[in-house]
Amino acid sequence: MTERPYFNDAQSRRRFLVTAGTAGAVGLAGCSDVLPGGNGNGNGEDPPVGQIGSGREGRSPGGVSMEEMPDLEGELTVYSGRGEFLVGELVEYIESLYDDFTLNIRYGGSTDLVNQIINEGEGTPADVFYSVNSGSLGALASEGRTQPLPDEVLDFVREEFHTDEWVGTSGRARTVPFNTNALSEGDLPDDIMEYPDVDADLGWAPSYGSCQAFVTAMRLLEGEEATKQWLEGVLDAGITSYPDEFVACQAIADGEIDAAFTNHYYIQRVLDGSPDAPIATSFTEGDAGAMFNVAGAAVTDAASDADLASNFVRHLLSGEAQDYFARTTFEYPLIPGVEPIGDLPTIDELDVPDLDLTQLSDLEPTIDLMREAGVNI
């Protein structure tokens, strides 16, 4: 991903979004203005409790509408590493648009589903793999179990958010959420490598896939020795572990810790339930702490109807679907014309590192390094 410097003075370089009462002022009324209601049960990397919000009602999504996309006809099986609680409403809506279209969804963890597709071989029923992260997409592609997507699908998003074999459907930025009662703007550095020396009670979720991808990015950008020193440093400073990043953000809002390392949308989800919670979002600059990852989809090499499969993926990039991700899961939309929720900076305004997202699938060295540094995962 190309680095895009945006901030141009000492205060604005690190863009703090003190969003209590503004960015989080969203209700729980559902999103019936675009999609019908109804939620399922969460699983995998997206915990089911306190995770869904309605965003802002009355938004008019840009982009290409589903009405302008090819009709879906036939039967399709999707292996989804995204939890039903987060995307079930969307995929059910897509299925409901077409009388002659049947969608079979199998939910599970992204890594588990990659292994399942590989083990099932050419006989896998999976036509589409829908992943919570680019690492799993890259892992499946590296096994030769995906096929190229057509340009009319890939061209919806910028080149750093796709390869020939998979396309990102929504994005997440790494952030440092902080408690506004405990810390002020000047207390947090804009360099992630300085955090072991910060005078603050920190938290993280080291067993969580997004955290491990963050450490992987650090390993790739800073080297193994520097990353090991960083890990040892935050452990020596007494960092608190949580089961997932939403719980870590809730701990910030509750005053248990001062700051943490999480994806951006968990802050928005805390604020969605408690608009006055003392939590805000900070960003580092051009390093692993500012990494931008994507959820995305690929068509498997065993797809019985590759055109149908790729056209379903195209629907995930429609204006309606992208607005759903913004309003309902608080993720970053990836197409022009649909803005994120929560008064967040745009993707162009984020100072992200120059990092090939496909390299994030190389988790084994990261796990080994974390354990060697003493991290309990």
Task: Work out the angle between the directed axes of helices 209-222 and 224-236 (0-180°, nearest 10).
Answer: 130
User: Tokens 């968990």 correspond to what residue?
Assistant: 266
Do residue 160 and residue 186 come from a single domain? no
Do residue 234 and residue 301 come from a single domain? no
Max distance between CA atoms of the chain, in angstroms, equals: 60
- Tell me, yes or no, whether 27 lies in a domain: no
Residue 357 is given by DSSP the state G
Do residue 312 and residue 336 come from a single domain? yes
pLDDT at position 366: 96
Q: Which neighbouring-strand residues pair with 179?
A: 279
Q: How many domains does the chain have?
A: 2
- Taking only the tens place, the pLDDT of each residue in 102-128 is 999 999 999 899 999 999 999 999 999
Do residue 268 and residue 319 come from a single domain? no
Do residue 358 and residue 214 come from a single domain? yes
**pLDDT > 50? residue 18:** no
Do residue 219 and residue 360 come from a single domain? yes
φ/ψ (deg, to 5) at 23: -65, -35
Do residue 94 and residue 160 come from a single domain? yes
pLDDT at position 184: 86
The CATH code of the domain that includes 212 is 3.40.190.10
d(CA 351, CA 284): 8
d(CA 143, CA 132): 18
Given a contact cutoff of 8 angstroms between Cβ atoms, the answer to whether 60 and 19 are in contact is no
Do residue 311 and residue 195 come from a single domain? no
- Tell me, yes or no, whether 268 lies in a domain: yes
Question: Which residues make Cβ contacts (< 8 Å) with residue 209, sequence separation at least 6?
Answer: 45, 110, 111, 132, 133, 135
Do residue 164 and residue 311 come from a single domain? yes
- Taking only the tens place, the pLDDT of each residue in 44-98 is 344 333 334 445 455 566 899 999 999 999 999 999 999 999 999 999 999 999 9
- Taking only the tens place, the pLDDT of each residue in 210-258 is 899 999 999 999 999 999 999 999 999 999 999 999 999 999 999 999 9
- Tell me, yes or no, whether 194 lies in a domain: yes
pLDDT at position 42: 33
Do residue 134 and residue 225 come from a single domain? no
Q: Where are the beta strands (DSSP E) in 202-345?
A: 202-204, 240-241, 259-260, 262-263, 279-282, 292-300
d(CA 336, CA 282): 24
- Tell me, yes or no, whether 347 lies in a domain: no
Residue 194, domain extent: 173-290+352-373
- Tell me, yes or no, whether 44 lies in a domain: no
Predicted structure pTM score: 0.81
Do residue 135 and residue 279 come from a single domain? no
Phi/psi-derived region of residue 337, left when phi > 0, alpha when psi is between -120 and 50, beta in every other case: left
From 228, 234, 236, 226, select the one nearest 203 (Cα to Cα): 234
- Taking only the tens place, the pLDDT of each residue in 307-317 is 999 999 999 99
- Tell me, yes or no, whether 13 lies in a domain: no
- Tell me, yes or no, whether 245 lies in a domain: yes
